[in-house]
Amino acid sequence: MNEDTPRSAWSVGLRYGSDFFAGVLVGTVLGFGADALFSSAPIGLIAGMFLGFAAGTLNVVRTAQELNAQTGDDTSTSTQDENRDR
């Protein structure tokens, strides 16, 4: 996609959702595999889901930073500047 073309809210939302879902899915599958390998019934699955949730959240944050950098929309520094001026 060209950088000058605005992204629709649907495309951004689907990207965030797929990034998050992929992290949770991979963590869950790895946890399930660890349970099967080590015979530790729910422990690996629960740990994998938590790690997948963390990885999915990190993926969404990275994607948001990437999209903000591409559009030049940096609201975090402007908010800090406004708070400092008060």
> Are 44 and 76 within 8 A, CB to CB?
no
In this structure, what token pair is assigned to residue 58?
């990190």
- pLDDT (tens digit, 9 = 90+) per residue, 47-79? 999 999 999 999 999 999 998 988 876 566 555
* pTM metric for this prediction: 0.74
Query: Which run of H or of E encompasses 39?
Result: none
Q: Flag whether pLDDT at 3 surpasses 90.
A: no
47 phi and psi, to 5 degrees?
A: -65, -40
Domain edges within the chain: 19-70
